[in-house]
């Protein structure tokens, strides 16, 4: 019988041989695979610089630290995301404000964001962490104009969206992670995401100063680079200039991710194909979808549908060997966040979405037979055949 998850990595023989080569090399960590991965990834998303780290959560934490987030300050994000998008502020001793989602594209509601900013004195918020939910690019051009007006930085949480892009008002193609309309962008290489490293993450930027700061923060705040040293006692000499962390990725993980990056575009093509098949097959069903627009290209980390019979559908699919998932329980409804003062009712669009959403299988290596099985199971559930 079928056992089909909502997402899954694909490991090829080539991936395996790349990892073995690294295992046989001189460097298991702090070696050449990391820089090679960074350079190739920066190129892939049209960014100038990239800093690879041990996971997407560390990427977000380092991003807000590099931008100088301080205790007492506040960031803004959306309640429909993985908890890490909000937690990064708490790690830095700062606070989180949420802005409800847009009912159609499920990303942060830009009008509500604008209203929140207008309704508060300047300096209430330090930055915005918009999330390219399910792979749908964030309208960063508008958010960037608001951020400039109110003196805020932007960290794009692009963990769902490597390979996605939108077209700006000049018709220019803006890739998720290019940081053309943001300060920093963060990615995850958890196996359920587009590129699997085992564990891994990336921060991209076009700002040299932030790039240097991120490199320091990744490795204890320590540097050996002669041009950056305050003193120099000899070849052994290093300085700890910031309070940093060990957020490094290993060369083993980087080798796997780099090998996967080689076929990232192929993966997106397959994801687009799956989305198209779902859309065509479900055209007559009583369900709704994340809004699609001509001027953006969805990287489809997830394929979400909304139905009033969500729980029934979830349970039915399990009897068919299909393990769908719910993305996400609104962050503000998590017990920890309730402890910070948030409550049910605070973000009604997100909460209604949560009652109805379900993520169907979406990953490059799903077979046509498996996909057909998912499609016929969903249609059976709604009794349309």
Token pair of 28, please? 């298991």
C-beta closer to ligand PLP: residue 297 or 328:
328
Does 57 help bind ligand PLP (rule: CB under 6 A)?
A: yes
Selected from 66, 84, 217, 362, the binder of ligand PLP by CB under 6 A is 84
**Is residue 298 a contact residue for ligand PLP (CB under 6 A)?**
no
What residues between 126 and 185 interact with ligand PLP by CB under 6 A? Answer: 131, 157, 159-160
Would you count residue 108 as binding ligand PLP (CB under 6 A)? no
Structure tokens at 264: 């990232």
Sort 238 into a burial class: Cβ within 10 Å, 0-12 / 13-18 / 19+: middle
Q: HEC string of the chain?
A: CCCEECCCCCCCHHHHHHHHHHHCCCCCECCHHHHHHHHHHHHHCCCCEEEEECCHHHHHHHHHHHCCCCCCCEEEECCCCCCHHHHHHHHCCCEEEECCECCCCCCECHHHHHHHHHCCCCCCCCEEECECHHHCCCCHHHHHHHHHHHCCEEEEECCCCCCCEEECCCCCEEECCCCCCCCEEEEECCCCCCCCCCCCEEEEECCHHHHHHHHHHHECCEECCHHHCCCCCCCCCCEECCCCCECCCEHHHHHHHHHHHCCHHHHHHHHHHHHHHHHHHCCCCCCEECCCCCCEECCCCCEEEECCCHHHHHHHHHHCCEECECCCCCHHHCHHHHCCCCCCCCCHHHHHHHHHEEEECCCCCCCHHHHHHHHHHHHHHCCCC
Name residues contacting ligand PLP, limited to 233-292 (CB under 6 A). Answer: none
Q: Shortest gap between Cβ of 132 and ligand PLP (angstroms)? A: 8
CB of 149 vs ligand PLP, minimal distance in Å: 26
Near ligand PLP by CB under 6 A: residue from 22, 78, 188, 359: 188
From 22, 34, 37, 56, residue interacting with ligand PLP (rule: CB under 6 A): 56
Q: Pick from 9, 22, 73, 85: which binds ligand PLP (CB under 6 A)?
A: 85
- Choose the binding region for ligand PLP from 76-84, 210-218, 291-299, 350-358 (rule: CB under 6 A): 76-84
**Number of residues this chain uses to bind ligand PLP (CB under 6 A):** 14
Question: How far, in Å, CA of 359 to CA of 351, rounded?
Answer: 16
Residue 201 engages ligand PLP in binding (rule: CB under 6 A): yes
Please state the closest distance from residue 155 (CB atom) to ligand PLP, in A. 11
Q: Shortest approach of ligand PLP to residue 102 CB, angstroms?
A: 16
The residue range among 81-89, 234-242, 335-343, 346-354 that interacts with ligand PLP, by the rule CB under 6 A, is 81-89
Residue of 150, 190, 213, 310 that binds ligand PLP (CB under 6 A): 190
Q: Which is closer to ligand PLP, CB of 130 or CB of 244?
A: 130
Which is closer to ligand PLP, CB of 186 or CB of 378?
186
Task: Tell me which residue has its CB nearest to ligand PLP.
Answer: 56
CB 20 within 8 A of CB 11: no
Site string for ligand PLP, 16-55 (x = CB under 6 A): ---------------------------------------x
Nearer to ligand PLP, 56 or 164 (CB): 56
296 binds ligand PLP (CB under 6 A): no
Could you tell me the smallest distance in angstroms from the CB atom of residue 302 to ligand PLP?
A: 9
- Distance, in Å, from the CA atom of 142 to the CA atom of 181, rounded to the nearest integer, reads 9
Residues that bind ligand PLP (CB under 6 A): 55-57, 81-82, 84-85, 131, 157, 159-160, 188, 190, 201
């Amino acid at each position: 019988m079928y056992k089909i998850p909502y997402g899954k990595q694909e490991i090829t023989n080539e991936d395996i041989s790349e990892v073995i080569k690294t295992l046989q090399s001189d460097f298991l960590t702090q070696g050449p695979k990391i820089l090679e991965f960074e350079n190739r990834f920066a190129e892939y998303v049209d960014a100038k610089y990239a800093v690879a780290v041990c996971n997407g959560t560390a990427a977000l934490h380092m991003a807000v630290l590099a931008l100088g987030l301080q205790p007492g300050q506040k960031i803004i994000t959306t309640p429909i995301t993985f908890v890490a998008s909000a937690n990064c502020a708490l790690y830095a001793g700062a606070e989180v404000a949420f802005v409800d989602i847009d009912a159609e594209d499920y990303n942060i509601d830009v009008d509500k964001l604008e209203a929140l900013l207008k309704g508060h004195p300047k300096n209430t918020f330090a930055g915005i962490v918009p999330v390219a939910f399910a792979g749908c690019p964030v309208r960063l051009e508008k958010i960037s104009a608001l951020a400039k007006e109110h003196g805020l930085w932007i960290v794009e949480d692009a963990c769902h969206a490597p390979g996605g892009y939108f077209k700006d008002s000049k018709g220019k193609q803006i890739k998720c992670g290019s940081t053309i309309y943001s300060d920093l962008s963060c990615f995850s290489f958890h196996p359920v995401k587009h590129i699997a490293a085992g564990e891994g993450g990336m921060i991209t930027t076009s700002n040299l100063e932030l790039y240097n700061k991120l490199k320091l923060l990744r490795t204890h705040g320590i540097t050996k680079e002669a041009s950056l040293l305050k003193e120099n006692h000899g070849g052994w000499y290093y300085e700890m200039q910031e309070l940093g962390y060990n957020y490094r990725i290993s060369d083993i993980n980087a080798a796997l991710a780099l090998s996967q990056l080689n076929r990232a575009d192929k993966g997106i093509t397959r994801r687009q194909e799956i989305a198209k098949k779902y859309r065509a097959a479900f055209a007559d069903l009583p369900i709704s979808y994340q809004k699609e627009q001509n001027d953006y290209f969805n990287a489809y980390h997830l394929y979400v549908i909304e139905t009033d019979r969500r729980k029934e559908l979830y349970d039915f699919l399990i009897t068919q060997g299909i393990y769908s998932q719910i993305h996400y329980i609104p962050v503000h409804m998590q017990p920890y966040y309730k402890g910070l003062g948030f409550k049910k009712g605070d973000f009604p669009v997100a909460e209604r979405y949560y009652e109805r959403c379900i993520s169907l299988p979406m990953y490059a290596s799903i077979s046509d037979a498996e996909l057909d099985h998912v499609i016929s199971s969903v249609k059976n559930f709604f009794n349309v055949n």
